[in-house]
Structure 1
């Protein structure tokens, strides 16, 4: 999977670790803010969905399938104005047809910024993919 031109690249998300058991990435706050200069809640959701989807895709590959996100929810705990946030996704459930991941987003002081949960459905790869 190439990352060029993807939302991850546009948002500056950098994946440093990726397995079905743990996915880790960082994202800059700058460029991903809302009008008050705070990290946009939607940016935290993009980070969470990306990490859960990567873990799910790696798990799905063992069944010859691909993963598509079907549900995400997030609770935003604190504001962040600068620096980098880190997301860590760990599986809640890894099945043959669905997966669920918890994603914890923290700031540079290791304070929790957001807690999210993403569920993916595992489907047969579309033709030509």
Structure 2
């Protein structure tokens, strides 16, 4: 597995998407995880100057969805997120957060992910659980 090439492909596929808007970048890949990072600045703040929970959720869903692509045949299948649950543990005003998705269940039609979001000091910021559905590509999609 050429992790550098895979991460580059994921980052290139983020052009002109929400991931690019939020400066989300895929940075690490292993046999059982995918990690992305996002800077914490005014672009992702809520009005009180803290990391917006919606931006954190977008980060979690992005990395959880991307990770499912390793377990499908992308020529005949695609993945859609169908459920996201997230708990925000600690606030963050500046710096960087890292989201790491680890698989809990990889079935033929559903994948379940735990996504832990930590800051650059390894402080737990949020924990998410995400479910993806695996669908077959047809003329309607």
Report the TM-score when normalising by structure 1: 0.92
Q: Which runs of 5+ in 1 are unaligned?
A: none
After TM superposition, give the deviation of residue 127 of structure 1 in Å.
Answer: 3.1
After TM superposition, give the deviation of residue 96 of structure 1 in Å.
Answer: 0.4
Structure with the bigger percentage of helix = 2
After TM superposition, give the deviation of residue 62 of structure 1 in Å.
Answer: 7.0
| 8 Å contact from structure 1 (residues 21, 90) kept in 2 | yes
Distance change (3 Å), C-alpha of 1:122 and 1:63: farther
After TM superposition, give the deviation of residue 118 of structure 1 in Å.
Answer: 0.5
Moved more, 93-102 or 19-28: 19-28
Match of 1:116 in 2: 128
- C-alpha distance in structure 1 between counterparts of 2:132 and 2:75, whole Å: 14
Distance change (3 Å), C-alpha of 1:123 and 1:8: same
- C-alpha distance in structure 1 between counterparts of 2:126 and 2:70, whole Å: 24
| Number of aligned residues | 129
Query: Which structure's relative contact order is higher, taking Cα pairs within 8 Å and 6+ residues apart?
Result: 1
| 8 Å contact from structure 1 (residues 20, 59) kept in 2 | no
